[in-house]
Amino acid sequence: MLEYMFIFFAILFFSIGIIIDNFLINNRFKNMFALLFYSNITDMLFIPLLWIFGLPKLLPTDMIVPIILVGVGQIIYLYPYYKALKEIDTSIVSALFNLGKIFVPVLAFIVVRERLSILQYIGFIVIIFGSFMLTYEGGLKINKALFYMTLTTFIIATSSTVTKYALESIDWITVITWAAIMSTTITIIFGLLFYKKEIADSRKIYLRTVWQFILNNFVTFLAMASITYAIVTVPVTVAQGLMATAPVFMIAFIYLGHKFWPRYFKENLEWKNILKKSVFFILIAIGIILTV
């Protein structure tokens, strides 16, 4: 029973992280790169905490390019993700993260020729259909968030695939540390070259909201730790299926939280809209189970 509680904690922490991102991009930072810059800098501050488990090693020369790719992936996925949060409800953005379940096995098939089953293909179709219906706005119009989150999840899936490749040769602390160093270095250089004014103008905003950045990092860490523990102790199909229902729980969380802190939430809370979203959230969860 305890392991299932960790899945609930993972869903809760995951939801809080997206809600904080939504608040920052829609209510605090006018420039997306400035938010990306300060988010990356804050992430780097947490890396030394990993070193209690062991110190990172020097990178082998043949791993420099893969780690740079991972570092770049950790930066650029944030841009379409922030764009999606500006376009559509927070809970739908949460659901669209499940598009990544399509790319991981597809990339595995391309890289190592891993065979896919008929059920997996059906699962892919179900996920795509559910995602399309969540962003369909009538006529020929589809919310741009579908495109942005497809790009986001593709970048994350590609980065994850390269990370798994790197982990075959070096330990996880070395991978995470050097990827963070690469992403922070690239962000600083790019920021100083092209967004120096925007970063400077946003400094006071960052100092006022730094506790939200820290909280976001903390809950993200707890979410990853919780789901990792759950996957180890619970069948993968069950864990992945339950995690796919996160958007349903997010709606409930937003509905309750909106009564007390309305400015933190961007969500259409009409019952008709909630019902529609919940139906397609559950459909996507079924698709996830089929792909696993």
Q: What secondary structure, in 3-state letters, does the chain show?
A: CHHHHHHHHHHHHHHHHHHHHHHHHHHCCCCHHHHHHHHHHHHHHHHHHHHHHCCCCCCCHHHHHHHHHHHHHHHHCHHHHHHHHHHCCHHHHHHHHHHHHHHHHHHHHHHHCCCCCHHHHHHHHHHHHHHHHHHECCCCCECCHHHHHHHHHHHHHHHHHHHHHHHCCCCHHHHHHHHHHHHHHHHHHHHHHHCHHHHHHCHHHHHHHHHHHHHHHHHHHHHHHHHHHHHHHCCHHHHHHHHCCHHHHHHHHHHHHHCCCHHHCCCCCCHHHHHHHHHHHHHHHHHHHHHC
- pLDDT bin (cut points 50, 70, 90) of residue 258 is confident
Q: In which band, very low, low, confident or very high, does the pLDDT at 42 lie, cut at 50, 70 and 90?
A: very high
For residue range 134-158, list pLDDT tens digits in order: 999 988 899 999 999 999 999 998 8
| pLDDT averaged over every residue in the chain | 87
pLDDT, tens digit, 9 for 90 and up, residues 68-96: 999 999 999 999 999 999 999 999 999 99
pTM of the predicted model as reported, rounded to 2 decimal places: 0.90
